[in-house]
Copies of this chain bind each other. A is one copy, B any other.
Amino acid sequence: MENKDILGDCSNGAICHMAYTMNRIAGKWKLVILWHIYDKEVIRYGELKRNIGKITHKMLSNQLKELVSDGIIHKEIYHQVPPKVEYSLTEYGKTLAPIMDMLYEWGKKNRKD
């Protein structure tokens, strides 16, 4: 994965903090996915995909994988047939809740279309 991070050569402390956050949650879909999980608390892959709608299978899988590996969401696998997988926010992920709330509120306030 080399260095896809922005500001990898962080010289300014303040900016680094912002960059750290962005490296976790930036991306076209991450917050939207998180928002859906946050909304339902626990959600299965299929429902998540259906709810988001305009996301492809591959995109969703990839993003979920990253979120899991970043420790933001938890993946619970039920070994049954057919398989069932549930996603939920970890405690760490839940610390993003206030941020998601603000982003939501900001959109609600400013969207005029």
Question: Interface digits, A86-113 against B, CB 8 Å rule (1 contact, 0 not)?
Answer: 0000001001101110111111111100
Question: Would you call B20 and A111 a contact (CB within 8 A)?
Answer: yes
Residue tally, chain A, CB below 8 Å to B: 46
* Interface of chain A residues 1 through 48 with chain B (CB within 8 A): 6-9, 11-12, 14-22, 24, 26-29, 31-32, 35-36, 39
Task: Choose one: B11, B32, B95, B102; the contact of A15 (CB below 8 Å).
Answer: B32
Q: Which residues of B contact A18 (CB under 8 A)?
A: 31-32, 35, 100, 103-104, 107
Q: Which residues of B contact A26 (CB under 8 A)?
A: 26-28, 31
Q: A31 vs B19: C-alpha distance in the bound complex, in angstroms? A: 9
Number of copies: 2
Question: Would you call A99 and B100 a contact (CB within 8 A)?
Answer: no
Task: Choose one: B22, B104, B108; the contact of A31 (CB below 8 Å).
Answer: B22
Main secondary structure on A side of the interface with B: helix
Q: A95 vs B27: C-alpha distance in the bound complex, in angstroms? A: 22
- Pairs across A and B, CB under 8 Å, 17 listed: A7-B52, A7-B53, A9-B53, A9-B54, A15-B32, A15-B51, A15-B52, A18-B31, A18-B35, A20-B110, A26-B26, A92-B110, A95-B106, A95-B109, A95-B110, A96-B106, A99-B99
